Amino acid sequence: MKNYYELNEKTVIEYVNNKLDFFAEDAIYECKEIGDGNLNLVFRIRDTKNDKSIIVKQALPYVRAAGEDWPLDINRGEIETRILKLEHDLTGGLVPEVYLFDGDMFCMVMEDLYDYKIMRYGLMDFEQYPKFAEQISDFLVKTLLLTSDVVMEHKKKKDGVKSFINPELCEITEDLVYTEPFHIGARNNVEESIKEYHETQIVNDKELALEVAKLKFDFMNNAQALLHGDLHTGSIFVNQNHTKVIDPEFAFYGPMAYDIGALLANLIMNYISTEARCEDEELKRKHKEYLLQTIKDIVNLFKSKALKLWNEVVTDKMAKTPGFKEFYVNDVLVNTAGVTGCEMVRRTVGFAHVKDLDGIEDDIKRAKAKMDNLNLAKIFIKNRNEITTGEDYLKLIEKYL
Amino acid sequence: MKNYYELNEKTVIEYVNNKLDFFAEDAIYECKEIGDGNLNLVFRIRDTKNDKSIIVKQALPYVRAAGEDWPLDINRGEIETRILKLEHDLTGGLVPEVYLFDGDMFCMVMEDLYDYKIMRYGLMDFEQYPKFAEQISDFLVKTLLLTSDVVMEHKKKKDGVKSFINPELCEITEDLVYTEPFHIGARNNVEESIKEYHETQIVNDKELALEVAKLKFDFMNNAQALLHGDLHTGSIFVNQNHTKVIDPEFAFYGPMAYDIGALLANLIMNYISTEARCEDEELKRKHKEYLLQTIKDIVNLFKSKALKLWNEVVTDKMAKTPGFKEFYVNDVLVNTAGVTGCEMVRRTVGFAHVKDLDGIEDDIKRAKAKMDNLNLAKIFIKNRNEITTGEDYLKLIEKYL
Please determine, for residue A74, whether its predicted confidence score (pLDDT) is greater than 90: no
CA distance B130 to B242: 10
CA distance A189 to A228: 25
CB contact B358 to A (< 8 Å): no
- Do A38 and A64 meet the contact criterion of CB atoms below 8 Å apart? yes
| Residue B345 parent element (H or E) | helix B324-349
Where does B164-256 have alpha helices with state H?
167-176, 195-197, 206-221
CB contact A210 to B (< 8 Å): yes
Percent of chain B with pLDDT over 70: 98
Q: Which of A167, A178, A179 sits opposite B158 (nearest CB)?
A: A167
Mean local confidence (pLDDT), A277-291: 98
Q: Quick one: pLDDT at residue B345?
A: 98
Q: Quick one: pLDDT at residue B49?
A: 96
Average pLDDT along chain B:
95
- Strand pairing of A29-33 and B98-102? unpaired
Mean local confidence (pLDDT), A273-291: 98
Q: Using the beta-carbon criterion (under 8 Å), do B322 and A206 form an inter-chain contact?
A: yes
CB contact A174 to B (< 8 Å): yes
CB contact B216 to A (< 8 Å): yes
Q: Quick one: pLDDT at residue A71?
A: 72
The rounded Cα A97 to chain-centroid distance in angstroms is: 19
Q: Quick one: pLDDT at residue B224?
A: 98
Nearest to B34 by CA among B123, B122, B112: B112
Q: Using the beta-carbon criterion (under 8 Å), do A213 and B318 form an inter-chain contact?
A: yes
Query: How many residues would you count in chain A?
Result: 401
Based on the number of CB atoms within 10 Å of its own CB, is A398 exposed (0-12), middle (13-18) or buried (19 or more)?
A: exposed
Q: Quick one: pLDDT at residue B311?
A: 97
Q: ipTM surpassing 0.85, yes or no?
A: yes
Which residues make Cβ contacts (< 8 Å) with residue A70, sequence separation at least 6?
A62, A63
Which residues make Cβ contacts (< 8 Å) with residue B51, sequence separation at least 6?
none
A224/chain B closest Cα distance in angstroms: 6
CB contact A178 to B (< 8 Å): yes
CA distance B358 to B369: 10
Q: Using the beta-carbon criterion (under 8 Å), do B154 and A174 form an inter-chain contact?
A: yes
Interface test with A, best of B208, B321, B325 (most A CBs within 10 A): B321
β strands within A271-339, DSSP E = none
For B223-244, the pLDDT digits (tens) are 999 999 999 999 999 999 999 9
- Do A246 and A78 meet the contact criterion of CB atoms below 8 Å apart? no
Residue of chain A minimizing CA distance to B182: A318
Please state, as a whole number, how many other Cβ atoms lie within 10 Å of the Cβ of residue A220: 26
Mean local confidence (pLDDT), B51-59: 93
CA-to-CA dists, residue A94 to A43, B251, B376, angstroms: 21, 38, 50
Please determine, for residue A66, whether its predicted confidence score (pLDDT) is greater than 80: no
A222/chain B closest Cα distance in angstroms: 5
In chain A, residues with a C-beta closer than 8 Å to the C-beta of B168 are: 155
β strands within A207-329, DSSP E = 225-227, 236-238, 243-245, 252-254
Percent of chain A with pLDDT over 70: 98
Q: Using the beta-carbon criterion (under 8 Å), do B213 and A319 form an inter-chain contact?
A: yes
Q: Quick one: pLDDT at residue A59?
A: 87
- Do B162 and A165 meet the contact criterion of CB atoms below 8 Å apart? yes
For B140-178, the pLDDT digits (tens) are 999 999 999 999 999 999 999 999 999 999 999 999 999
Q: Quick one: pLDDT at residue A38?
A: 74
Please determine, for residue A217, whether its predicted confidence score (pLDDT) is greater than 90: yes
Largest CA distance in chain A: 65
Nearest to A31 by CA among A12, A58, A15, A50: A12
Q: Quick one: pLDDT at residue B38?
A: 73
β strands within B103-242, DSSP E = 107-111, 117-118, 225-227, 236-238
CA angle A397–A206–A169, rounded 5-degree value: 75
CA-to-CA dists, residue A174 to A166, A322, A333, B317, angstroms: 12, 35, 20, 10
Between B286 and A80, residue with greater pLDDT: B286
Mean local confidence (pLDDT), A327-354: 98
CB contact A293 to B (< 8 Å): no
B158/chain A closest Cα distance in angstroms: 6
In chain B, residues with a C-beta closer than 8 Å to the C-beta of A179 are: 317-318
In chain B, residues with a C-beta closer than 8 Å to the C-beta of A182 are: 318
Where does B177-280 have alpha helices with state H?
195-197, 206-221, 257-277
CB contact B158 to A (< 8 Å): yes
Please state, as a whole number, how many other Cβ atoms lie within 10 Å of the Cβ of residue B285: 12
CA distance A397 to A294: 13
A100/chain B closest Cα distance in angstroms: 28
Domains of chain A: 9-111 (3.30.200.20), 117-400 (3.90.1200.10)
For A177-191, the pLDDT digits (tens) are 999 999 999 999 999
Q: Which of A291-300, B1-10, B50-59 has the highest mean pLDDT?
A: A291-300
In chain B, residues with a C-beta closer than 8 Å to the C-beta of A224 are: 221
B35/chain A closest Cα distance in angstroms: 28
Based on the number of CB atoms within 10 Å of its own CB, is B345 exposed (0-12), middle (13-18) or buried (19 or more)?
A: buried
Please state, as a whole number, how many other Cβ atoms lie within 10 Å of the Cβ of residue B159: 14
Please determine, for residue A350, whether its predicted confidence score (pLDDT) is greater than 80: yes
Nearest to A122 by CA among A296, A289, A259, A274: A274
DSSP-based three-state secondary structure for A348: helix
Q: 3-state secondary structure string, A123-178?
A: HHCCCCCCCHHHHHHHHHHHHHHCCCCCCCCHHHHHHHHHHCCCHHHHHHHHHHCC
- Expressed in angstroms, the distance from the first to the final Cα of chain A is 50
Angle subtended by helix axes A257-277 and A132-145, to nearest 10: 160
CA distance B90 to A178: 29
A-B C-beta contacts closer than 8 Å: 108
Q: Quick one: pLDDT at residue B39?
A: 81
The rounded Cα A267 to chain-centroid distance in angstroms is: 11
Nearest to A384 by CA among A264, A220, A286, A221: A264
pLDDT band at B8 (very low <50, low <70, confident <90, very high): very high
Please determine, for residue A322, whether its predicted confidence score (pLDDT) is greater than 80: yes
Mean local confidence (pLDDT), A141-152: 98
Q: Which of B167, B209, B216 sits opposite A155 (nearest CB)?
A: B167
DSSP-based three-state secondary structure for A59: strand
Nearest to B77 by CA among B115, B103, B41, B56: B103
Nearest to B272 by CA among B342, B374, B203: B374
Mean local confidence (pLDDT), B85-108: 93
In chain B, residues with a C-beta closer than 8 Å to the C-beta of A328 are: 217
Average pLDDT along chain A:
95
Please determine, for residue A390, whether its predicted confidence score (pLDDT) is greater than 80: yes
Mean local confidence (pLDDT), B1-23: 93
CB contact B223 to A (< 8 Å): yes
Q: Which of B161, B171, B214 sits opposite A165 (nearest CB)?
A: B161
Please determine, for residue A65, whether its predicted confidence score (pLDDT) is greater than 80: no
Please state, as a whole number, how many other Cβ atoms lie within 10 Å of the Cβ of residue B14: 10
CB contact A324 to B (< 8 Å): yes
B138/chain A closest Cα distance in angstroms: 23
- Dihedral Cα B352, B355, B360, B366, nearest 10 deg: -20
In chain A, residues with a C-beta closer than 8 Å to the C-beta of B323 are: 206, 210
Q: Quick one: pLDDT at residue B64?
A: 73
Residue of chain B minimizing CA distance to A319: B213
